[in-house]
């Protein structure tokens, strides 16, 4: 890789060199070739989420034909791909299009100050050694995801210090030690979300026992790791056409099942419970371990590719306990029911800490910005914050589907501003008070962060859709200069 280019001012600064950041850079350099851009990345490598998480079995829970880039086909063998394969795909994309030369690594954005008089952001960067530098940009684009990279969420468990003092190990998946040897160990995984469902089949291969301890159950859907229809299409059609056809097939399938779940939650519950019962094969009862109290898609569904999670249970390598923690002990975890789970290693797969825009401090003309008091414009810009956008994907489909559309739409916006010699664009919300959060999920990490999340209005362009087709029409073909934006 060539040395990164030096810059003190760019037209567009992208924050984050993960999946969405590299995609945004591609769209900028192909659709707005006259605009200079650069990327700053707090980590030392490309990859974002897929570089950070290194726990056993790390993988996507979305298919790569929709999680992957629209402009560069996914060529991996599996549709549900592992973390290292996704990381390699992102890096190869950055190298193929020369994007890697535009990245300044180990530079964390800590403050962004907007000056209307100069129509530019002054960005404070903090390096790995703590030194600070500044640069300026005309437009700031955050591709930072929605959670805290520094620390995962772990509740306070009584007696945890007794367990560790007696030689037990407690680890959060976000900070998995490279040298952790779990062969022959008794492992308890606290949590029932996507991370736990991913971890358990991998741990079960060499651990003495693996127990998933959940306070409440989660819906788990079975999907094949390989897309047989995609393989047939690739044999019959040119690569790009086959990729596009597969992508649309999977988008349509996702929309269908999501809408079915919202319109017919009872039928969807029944279908998921039947699927689960068949996958368990009588090894565990569906009640109470796989019957959530909420409706499907009130929280995100988990995925077990090829039923690997259920296969581990059928083979006796893993089990599920639905109970609550009374306290840790010297040898494991005491439950409120009176039972005790013996453990050598406890994995706290208890979730994420949601943090918008990597915790950057925003100031507009001397006024600090609280994004919890803003309203989202098309789910990508925020009221009264000039020349700023964020890649915020779907919660019910592949994250990058929305990020791709956002990047395209921003390029349309930039070209409109260049054509009309405009330097500043600010969303202005003047509708009824926006009381709904921008994100409609009821997951724990969303509930914990509600106070800091932007709101959404009741109608376009202030309504945030979780529907790719609706957004496609709006972002690709709708008006750029609508009543929600103020230009200067």
Confidence (pLDDT) at 441: 66
pLDDT confidence bin for 228, thresholds 50/70/90: very high
State how far Cα 102 lies from the chain centre: 23
- Is residue 202 left, alpha or beta, with left meaning phi > 0 and alpha meaning psi from -120 to 50? alpha
Is the pLDDT at 462 greater than 80? The verdict is yes
Domains and CATH numbers, the chain: 9-150+353-487 (3.50.50.60)
pLDDT confidence bin for 1, thresholds 50/70/90: very low
Residue with the two structure tokens 């930072």: 144
**Alpha carbons 356 and 343: distance in angstroms, whole number:** 35
The 10s digit of each residue's pLDDT in 79-106 is 999 999 999 999 999 999 999 999 999 9
Question: 214, 320 in Cβ contact below 8 A?
Answer: yes
Is the pLDDT at 174 greater than 60? The verdict is yes
pLDDT confidence bin for 445, thresholds 50/70/90: low
**Percent of the chain surpassing pLDDT 90:** 86
pLDDT confidence bin for 343, thresholds 50/70/90: very high
pLDDT confidence bin for 7, thresholds 50/70/90: confident
**Alpha carbons 174 and 389: distance in angstroms, whole number:** 27
Question: 246, 229 in Cβ contact below 8 A?
Answer: yes
pTM: 0.94
The 10s digit of each residue's pLDDT in 357-393 is 989 999 999 999 999 999 999 999 999 999 999 999 9
Confidence (pLDDT) at 449: 65
State how far Cα 386 lies from the chain centre: 25
Confidence (pLDDT) at 396: 87
Angle at 417 between CA 411 and CA 421, to 5 degrees: 145
Is the pLDDT at 198 greater than 50? The verdict is yes
Stretch 31-56: mean pLDDT, rounded?
A: 96
The 10s digit of each residue's pLDDT in 58-84 is 999 999 999 999 999 999 989 999 999
pLDDT confidence bin for 5, thresholds 50/70/90: low
CA torsion through residues 21, 23, 24, 29, sign: positive
For 360-390, give one letter per residue: b (16+ CB within 10 A) or e: bebebeeeebebeebbbbbbbbbbebbbbbb
Residue with the two structure tokens 């960005």: 123
CA dihedral 340, 342, 346, 352 (to 10 degrees): -20
**Percent of the chain surpassing pLDDT 70:** 96
């Amino acid at each position: 890789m060539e040395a990164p280019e030096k810059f003190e001012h760019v037209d567009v600064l992208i924050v984050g060199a993960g999946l969405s950041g590299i995609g945004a850079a591609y769209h900028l350099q192909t659709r707005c070739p006259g605009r200079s851009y650069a990327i700053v990345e707090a980590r030392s490598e490309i990859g974002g989420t897929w570089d950070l998480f290194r726990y056993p079995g790390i993988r996507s829970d979305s298919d790569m034909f929709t999680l992957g880039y629209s402009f560069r086909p996914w060529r991996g063998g599996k549709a549900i791909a592992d973390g290292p394969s996704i990381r390699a795909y992102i890096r190869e994309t950055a190298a193929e299009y020369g994007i890697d030369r535009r990245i300044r690594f180990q530079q964390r954005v800590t403050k962004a100050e907007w000056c209307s008089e100069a129509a530019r952001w002054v960005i404070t960067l903090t390096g790995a050694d703590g030194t600070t530098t500044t640069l300026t940009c005309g437009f700031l684009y955050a591709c930072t995801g929605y959670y805290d990279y520094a620390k995962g969420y772990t509740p306070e468990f009584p007696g945890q210090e007794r367990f560790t003092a007696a030689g037990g190990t407690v680890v959060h998946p976000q900070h998995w030690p490279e040298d952790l040897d779990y062969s022959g160990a008794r492992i308890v995984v606290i949590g029932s979300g996507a991370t736990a469902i991913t971890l358990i089949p991998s741990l079960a291969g060499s651990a003495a026992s693996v127990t998933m301890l959940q306070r409440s159950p989660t819906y788990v859907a079975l999907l094949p790791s390989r897309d047989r229809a995609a393989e047939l299409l690739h044999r019959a059609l040119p690569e790009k056409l086959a990729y596009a056809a597969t992508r649309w097939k999977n988008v349509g399938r996702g929309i269908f099942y999501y809408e079915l779940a919202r319109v017919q939650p009872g039928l969807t519950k029944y279908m998921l419970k039947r699927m689960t019962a068949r996958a368990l094969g009588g090894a565990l009862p569906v009640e109470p371990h796989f019957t959530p109290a909420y409706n499907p898609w009130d929280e995100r569904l988990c995925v077990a590719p090829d039923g690997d999670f259920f296969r581990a249970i059928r083979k006796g390598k893993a089990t599920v306990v639905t109970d609550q923690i009374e306290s840790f002990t010297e040898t494991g975890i005491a439950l409120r029911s009176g039972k005790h789970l013996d453990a050598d290693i406890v994995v706290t797969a208890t979730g994420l800490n949601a943090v918008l825009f990597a915790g950057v401090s925003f100031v507009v003309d001397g006024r600090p910005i609280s994004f919890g008091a803003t309203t989202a414009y098309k789910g990508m810009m925020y009221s009264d914050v000039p020349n700023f956008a964020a890649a915020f994907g779907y919660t019910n489909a592949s994250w990058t589907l929305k990020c791709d559309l956002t990047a395209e739409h921003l390029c349309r916006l930039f070209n409109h501003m260049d054509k009309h010699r405009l330097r500043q664009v600010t969303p202005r919300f003047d509708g009824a008070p926006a009381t709904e959060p921008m994100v409609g999920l009821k997951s724990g990490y969303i509930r914990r962060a509600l106070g800091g999340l932007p709101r959404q209005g009741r109608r376009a362009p202030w309504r945030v859709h979780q529907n790719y087709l609706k957004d496609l029409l709006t972002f690709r073909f709708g008006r750029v200069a609508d009543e929600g934006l103020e230009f200067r």
